[in-house]
A and B are shown apart, each in its own frame.
Chain A
């Protein structure tokens, strides 16, 4: 039996939530981090495509809170709570944060991947949400997809194929 699954897309510097049979997908994560939260009882999940570590460096007029780790994680939590998720049940997974290009000099911009990962972890700690699995780092891009019913996170990369965490 083939079930029609709805796919919810999350763009760069974007976030969204879904439930039950839906899948939430974001494509082409490089230094960006795809962070997911999941409530196993309510079968609710959310995903943020975080681009930059901290909103402190923002110079934009109207802040896109989905873009920065420190603002995206609380917003994702609020969106899930609004749908009836229970905070103490939420678990997090994340993928991405790679360093696509290796440079000898290695200034801060080039280290953006690891910095995004660190910031996401700090944001989760501050909210007391456990990080139960991650596939971060490396020097390759990833496309990720979370099944909202099971919380399984599928990770696809060019060289390593598909794995799930």
Chain B
């Protein structure tokens, strides 16, 4: 894990740009879906402990909707699109015209619609990333879960778990006007993917 602790600022900036491009395209796709401008925060790239990662979405017990897809190809990793229950309901209203009374009780159709929205956004995140890096990246079929954040995010930490107790996370938050729709993208490339990402972007990777 020392490898990642010693990343110079410059490398962190490169990863921020990776998050920026991916989430930027996804935010554009979302804004087309809802027909409104979507704002996006500057991506954060941080080496965080497992606990700190769940704190980012409000703690291990916090209820979230998450679309998860495993990225395969030259730079494998895990991608999460995370929504608060309120944001999920708001998104369904806007895009699919589905009225939901309680955020905790989405039916099969609502879940399926949400999964598809997540799929579109995550796909656009990933394809722009693949274009940018010229690396092949294929998404697996996305899966949606509504559950405790800790239980969901642990899935994305397994690859890092074999190496240590921290993971390098590229985190981008976006929101619409009055924070009605707030969502987060977490990209957690596998540890082995970092050298490939850097090299593909012409950044020398020599463990410094």
Q: Residues on A close to B: CB < 8 A? A: 11-13, 27-32, 51-52, 57-61, 64, 67, 98, 100-105, 109-110, 112, 139-143, 158
Contact = CB atoms under 8 A, between A and B. Distances in A.
B143 A28 contact: no
Given A12-B50, A28-B61, A143-B61, A100 B151 contact: yes
Contacts of A11: 50-51
Contacts of A105: 140-141
B151 A102 contact: no
A141 B158 contact: no
Contact of B154 (A31, A103, A104, A140): A31
B155 interface: yes
Nearest to A156: B61
Nearest to A109: B158
Contact of B155 (A31, A58, A104): A31
B164 interface: yes
Contacts of A140: 147, 151
Interface in B13-44: none
A13 B161 contact: yes
B161 A52 contact: yes
A94 B95 CA distance: 42
A112 B165 CA distance: 17
